[in-house]
Amino acid sequence: MRSDLMKKGVKRAPHRSLLKALGLSDEELSKPIIGVANSSNEIIPGHIHLTRVTEAVKAGIRMAGGTPMEFSTIGICDGIAMDHRGMKFSLPSRELISDSVELVAQATPFDGLVLVSNCDKITPGMLMAMGRLNIPSVLVSGGPMLAGSYRGKPIDLVTVFEAVGGYNSGKISESELKEIENLACPGAGSCSGLFTANSMNALSEALGLSPRGNGTVPAVYAERIRIAKEAGKLVMELVKNDIKPRDIVSNDSFFNAVAVDLALGGSTNTVLHLKAIADAFEIDFSIDLFDELGRKVPHICNLSPVGNHHIQELYEAGGIYAVLKRLEGGGLIKGDAMTVYWKTIKEMIESSKVLNDDVIRPLDHPYHESGGLAVLYGNIARKGAIAKLSGVPEKMLYHKGKAVVFEDGELASERILAGDVKEGDVVVIRYEGPKGGPGMREMLSPTAALVGMGLMNSVALITDGRFSGGSKGAVIGHVSPEAAEGGIIAVIENGDTIEIDFKNRRLNLLIDKKEINGRIKRFAEFKTKETNQLLKRYSHFVRSADTGAVFDRL
């Protein structure tokens, strides 16, 4: 056993003495030692209940003959960090979470690992750690929040962001805004739409690295506790048979994850995170797979923020395995990919059924013929940019407009709400990329402001930053190269004409090439003005969004 490095033999008597100081007995030390990474905190609604989930994981480990040892990791709530300086620290936290799990698991040689996660950067950070450590591991999440209800209609966090725009434009009163604020987030769990947290927890199932139901069983259901116990028992089976994450995950696993992502219409952040997870597993994965499959895989689930359904309805319709079953019927997944059950995806979905054809539509009756995400290229995005195609209004699938340029997202939100952006414009928000931000902030507030101001059907937005899974509209993020790396987005000027063609996946600045080259020659090399040491270090090492915003390899 790997844990013998710290517990076996005469030389390890001091180590055993320290372990016994924790209250562990010789019998417990003789069993496999399983690390349990608990990201519980009192900051994030999706993590407020994770201590109970972690206790269930430990119970499952003990039932299967192991000894759990719990340790903690950090977490940031993207919703609370939104639209202020705090968002600069969210994406960097993904690398720190991954590093912290690896540090503890290398210094303490566990035989296996269960990672208890839920929200935006925590789940991908933990999946990255799994790939890097490559010891028997299972990820289990805390599950989604139930949707709120406002005057008989389901609502969620994005409803509140959009209601701010509605209040500023005089469409709703302050008392109505307060009512929505009080009802949108009814309790524990990751925010109830198909935002980044729920997208990533769903994709962990498609990757084969979490138990069945991980992405959809609501946080407050007893089934969530049973799933946590199952995770504890599963890791013991993996330890017994020495099955590691890299034995499970393959190129086919990422193929399946992308197919599911496109069918669901997941957050654009999934492109960033899947690329980073593949890097941790040392698997060659190109974001072009989203474009290739996006032309084959239809969008069959219409979940908030672009549709009226929420994650609890996807759960009731059969969950992620039912989506995989639907895709398998059209030959759109790789059935031989493995799972933590040490069974193939095809074997695992045999018993699955679609229980609601409106929530998970048949392949020949999709919400959209193309998948939910698209990769756009052009002179503005030589290395690609990402759009949530399922959220683009029909009339905005082709748009040509004048640029209105902002150097940061907060100023853009302020000016949109002040009425400075008009119908037909293209909002450009730059120096918000991984290096330029630094930290690649989310642009939920500007996009929600466009919705609230009634401009979603007439105004586009492009940025080298990223979007919350809650964003919708003709919005394009992850523009690469970013402004800080001298990308064309850095030299766009107010009034320039920008052409966006979602159907043909093109994003171009329509000015003379000679003029573009002249502007680039006059472009001053970027030097961050950031004074925070963590962010300065991050800006120095981080690579562009098309790489997953991972660090340079040394």
Catalytic residue positions, numbered: 468
Place of tokens 């850095």: 490
Task: Look at residues 312, 302, 359, 337 and name the one whose alpha carbon lies nearest to residue 206.
Answer: 337
Look at residue 119 and give its three-state secondary structure. coil
Tokens of 181: 């604020």
Q: How far is C-alpha 505 from the geometric centre of its chain's CA atoms?
A: 22
> Residue-wise over 416-448: b if at least 16 C-beta within 10 A, else e?
bbeeebeeebbbbbbbbbbbbbbbbbbbbbbbb
CB 413 within 8 A of CB 429: no
Q: Please report how many Cα atoms fall inside a 13 Å half-sphere around the Cα of residue 473, on the Cβ side.
A: 29
Rg (CA), the chain: 23
The conformation of residue 372, written as its DSSP 8-state character, comes to S
β partners of residue 377 = 506
Question: Rounded to whole angstroms, how far apart are CA atoms 208 and 213?
Answer: 12
Task: Please give the distance of CA 253 from its chain centroid, rounded to a whole number.
Answer: 17
Q: What angle do CA 8, 114, 132 make, to 5 degrees?
A: 85
Please list, residue by residue across 105-117, b when 16 or more beta carbons sit within 10 angstroms of its beta carbon and e when fewer do: beeebbbbbbbbb
Cβ within 8 Å of residue 62, ≥6 positions away: 68, 232
